[in-house]
Amino acid sequence: MENKVEKSGETRADEVEMNQKMTERADWIDTQTYWYLMQLLEISTAEAEEKFPWNIEILRNVFDSSVSILKEYGYAVCNPYIATPDTGRQYRCTLSEGGCESCNCQDEFMEKERLLSNIEDAAARNGFKVMDGDNDCIIVRNSEMDMDFEIRVGQLAG
């Protein structure tokens, strides 16, 4: 997935990827969902490739339905993903979105990505143009005043 940020008429692409723990979690979910469906269909591992080939669309639909049911009963499910809001900036899912108390896939940088993405989205809705950005800040332009502003995000100690 690419994140395109306009910088003085140029466009640059930054790729945001799931970290290793997120990838392992997503792969494990897909594998276990496939195994579960094989059991429901009473298909052996040897028969699976021919009778029930791997189909990520089916796996995601089953997973999404299961998550919906669990949420209905008050359970939060870790479902790692990359999001791209209206601003085009990408970020990895965070605890604040998932509703989990803790997550084995998270690192502190991920919440910073989410905050910057929300700030960019709010700035764009309020008429600011995102000019540049990196892992710690974004630069926005107020076109009416012809002024640029740097918005920096950092975690407070303690």
33 located within any domain:
no
Confidence of residue 33 (pLDDT cuts 50, 70, 90): very high
Distance between CA atoms of 20 and 9, rounded to whole angstroms?
A: 34
- At residue 46, what is the residue type? A
93 located within any domain:
no
> Across the chain, what does the average pLDDT equal?
77
Q: What is the pLDDT of residue 18?
A: 76
117 located within any domain:
yes
Cβ–Cβ < 8 Å for 79, 63: yes
Question: 142 forms bridges with which residues in the sheet?
Answer: 128, 147
Q: What is the pLDDT of residue 43?
A: 96
Residue 70: φ, ψ to 5° = -65, -40
Structural element, H or E, at residue 154: none
For residues 94-100, give the mean pLDDT: 60
Q: Model's pTM, two decimal places?
A: 0.58
Distance between CA atoms of 144 and 127, rounded to whole angstroms?
A: 9
What is the number of helices (H) and of strands (E) in the chain?
A: 5, 7
Confidence of residue 81 (pLDDT cuts 50, 70, 90): confident
User: What residues make up the domain containing 149?
Assistant: 1-17+108-158
Tally the domains of the chain.
1
76 located within any domain:
no
For residues 111-127, give the mean pLDDT: 74
Neighbours of 45 (CB within 10 A): 8
144 located within any domain:
yes
Q: What is the pLDDT of residue 39?
A: 96
Is 143 or 12 the better-scoring residue by pLDDT?
A: 143
